């Protein structure tokens, strides 16, 4: 059997077709393309072409782990296959303004800081994200098996985006006119790496409401990573995602606001933040995989309301409820209603039926128009409608990977990972 490196696989497996989770949403790129000058329009066209290329190459490490595609899982060291690693293991590569994500290794785990700020920011951000999940929910990296946290900086020239490609992070430097260096924002780093946690927890289909939940959960854990790093209580947080990456002169506070969806920015080039914060404002669109970056504002605001009601550190009670609900979901196509019910059930399981925590979760969802008798959750996507400290609750053991079926179940067991069928 041939064990390929993750680099070779990522370059050669063009048959995999999966969405790439980028921090800059399509509706923002559309506005930039429509309102920008010739240079901006050309840059956006290049981003779109590169995104198409990435989607054709993307693989999920959960699909390929049994074959040893993930670095560190079956690495050849002195002719011997090394077993899975555990603990914090970071590697940061310098793409040197190319698309070769692993062109030059710049910093490995335990090495001294680099002279390149972007390298250190990616390294430190990955560490802060790892520590957040480990200290809050006892999760050992994204897959709960010590998956190496691989990042690439200086991807393409003046690249206005950052993304999780299914196995690693990639960060652009921004053009300095619209966006600045993406590694400057811990909420961006935490958000993108949290897509990996969702992926290894069974996944949420990246379309419609399940896709919006995917984005929502990444926003939640991205913001909680920032709060955890700075020991910040819920009521002291600004609840903004990506506030550090907007260039000087852009009229806005951040990419998204969980406190007040729809208010993050209002700029001649970027357009106006289209996120709703209530089901009455739900946006039906075929763009952005059914509005995954838009309608995520609704569950985002529900989580904010919950944290305001409970107070304290948001990664403790609220975050633990959300984390455990994700582990128990078992439905990759979950709707907002289903996710809301799951979080209420999880709160009841952790804190007791009728508890203050369970009631607070239910109240938060009611505050955005869900879990009410009159609530009507949209079920289809229509024609585009575009708009200009230790935890206080014990975390349930996280799932280690999506379930395998048939041949994959056999192969999974062959390498000693247990029965995942």
Enumerate the H helices of 36-116 as residue ranges. Answer: 38-57, 61-64
Pairwise pLDDT comparison (380 vs 348), residue with the higher score: 348
Q: What is the pLDDT of residues 205-255, one digit of tens each?
A: 999 999 999 999 999 999 999 999 999 999 999 999 999 999 999 999 999
**Predicted confidence (pLDDT) at residue 370 exceeds the cutoff of 90:** yes
Q: pLDDT, tens digit, for every residue of 316-335?
A: 999 999 999 999 999 999 99
**pLDDT of the residue at 330:** 93
Token pair for residue 219? 């926003």
* Interatomic CA distance for residues 183 and 254, integer angstroms: 15
Residue 421 lies in a domain: no
CATH for 348: 1.10.390.10
User: Does residue 162 or residue 13 have the better pLDDT?
Assistant: 162
pLDDT of residue 379: 43
What pLDDT is attached to residue 362?
99
Beta strands in 58-183 (DSSP E): 76-77, 80-81, 90-98, 104-108, 149-155, 162-164, 169-171
CA separation for the pair 155, 174 (Å, rounded): 10
Please report whether residue 2 resides in a domain.
no
Separation CA 289–CA 297 (nearest Å): 15
Q: How many domains does the chain have?
A: 1
**Confidence tier at 86 by pLDDT (50, 70, 90):** confident
Residue 84: its pLDDT value, please? 55
Active site residue 228: no
Q: Residue 9 domain-assigned? A: no
| Whether pLDDT at 166 is above 50 | yes
Q: From CA 397, how far away is CA 420, in angstroms rounded?
A: 15
Residue 80 pLDDT more than 50?
no
For residue 107, the enclosing domain spans 22-399
CA angle 197, 198, 203 (to 5 degrees): 140
Residues linked to residue 257 through DSSP beta bridges, in sequence order: 240
Query: What's the rounded Cα separation, in Å, for the pair 116 and 5?
Result: 27
Question: So what's the pLDDT on residue 415?
Answer: 40
Q: What is the mean pLDDT of residues 270-297?
A: 97
121 part of a folded domain: yes
Give pLDDT, residue 214. 98
Asked whether residue 419 is domain-assigned, the answer is no
**Residue with tokens 């995989």, as numbered in its chain:** 289
Q: How confident is the model at residue 18 (pLDDT cuts 50, 70, 90)?
A: low
Q: What is the mean pLDDT of the chain?
A: 83
pLDDT score of 108 more than 70: yes
- For the chain, first and last CA: distance in Å? 23
In a domain, 407, yes or no: no
Q: Quick check: is 409 in a domain?
A: no
Residues whose CB falls within 8 Å of the CB of residue 170, separated by 6 or more in sequence, listed in order:
95, 101, 151, 152, 155, 162, 163
- Can you tell me the distance from the alpha carbon of 359 to that of 54, in angstroms, rounded to the nearest whole number? 43
- Confidence grade of residue 170 (pLDDT, cut at 50, 70, 90): very high
Higher pLDDT, 400 or 57: 57
pTM for the whole structure? 0.81
Our answer to whether residue 293 is catalytic in this structure is yes
Q: Looking at the domain assignment, is residue 42 inside a domain?
A: yes
**Which residue out of 293, 301, 351, 357 is catalytically annotated?**
293
Q: Does the pLDDT at position 383 exceed 70?
A: no
**Average pLDDT of span 21-44:** 85
Given the residues 121, 192, 357, 358, the one annotated as active site? 192
């Amino acid at each position: 059997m041939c064990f390929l490196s993750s680099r070779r696989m990522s370059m050669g497996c063009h048959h995999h077709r999966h969405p790439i989770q980028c921090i800059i949403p399509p509706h923002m790129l559309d506005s930039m393309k429509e309102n920008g000058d010739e240079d901006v329009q050309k840059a956006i066209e290049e981003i779109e072409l590169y995104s198409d290329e990435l989607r054709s190459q993307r693989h999920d490490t959960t699909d390929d782990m049994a074959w040893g595609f993930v670095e560190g899982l079956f690495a050849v060291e002195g002719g011997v296959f090394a077993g899975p690693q555990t603990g914090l293991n970071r590697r940061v590569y310098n793409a040197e303004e190319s698309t070769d994500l692993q062109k030059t290794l710049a910093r490995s785990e335990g090495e001294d800081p680099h002279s390149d700020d972007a390298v250190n920011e990616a390294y430190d951000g990955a560490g802060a994200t790892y520590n957040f999940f480990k200290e809050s929910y006892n999760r050992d990296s994204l897959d709960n098996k010590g998956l190496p946290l691989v990042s690439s900086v200086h991807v393409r020239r003046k690249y206005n985006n950052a993304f999780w490609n299914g196995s690693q992070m990639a960060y652009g430097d921004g053009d300095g006119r619209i966006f600045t260096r993406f590694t400057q924002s811990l909420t961006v780093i935490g958000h993108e790496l949290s897509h990996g946690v969702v992926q290894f927890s069974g996944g949420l289909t990246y379309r419609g409401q399940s896709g919006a939940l995917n984005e929502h959960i990444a926003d939640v854990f991205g913001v909680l990573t920032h709060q955890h790093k700075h020991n910040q209580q819920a009521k002291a947080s600004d609840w903004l995602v990506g506030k550090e990456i907007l260039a000087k002169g852009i009229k806005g506070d951040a990419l998204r606001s969980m406190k007040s969806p729809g208010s993050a920015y209002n700029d001649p080039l970027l357009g106006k933040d289209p996120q709703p914060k209530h089901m009455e404002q739900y946006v039906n669109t075929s763009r952005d995989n059914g509005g995954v970056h838009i309608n995520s504002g609704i569950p985002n605001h529900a989580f904010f309301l919950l944290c305001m009601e409970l107070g304290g550190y948001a990664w403790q009670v609220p975050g633990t409820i959300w984390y455990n609900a994700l582990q128990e979901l078992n439905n990759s196509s979950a709707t907002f209603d289903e996710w809301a019910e799951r979080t209420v059930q999880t709160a009841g399981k952790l804190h007791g039926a009728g508890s203050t925590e369970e009631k607070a979760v239910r109240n938060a969802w009611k505050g955005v128009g869900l879990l009410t008798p009159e609530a009507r959750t949209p079920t289809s996507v229509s024609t585009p409608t575009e708009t200009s400290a230790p935890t206080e609750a014990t975390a349930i053991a996280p799932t280690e990977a999506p379930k395998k079926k048939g041949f994959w179940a056999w192969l999974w067991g062959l390498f000693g990972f247990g029965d995942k069928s």
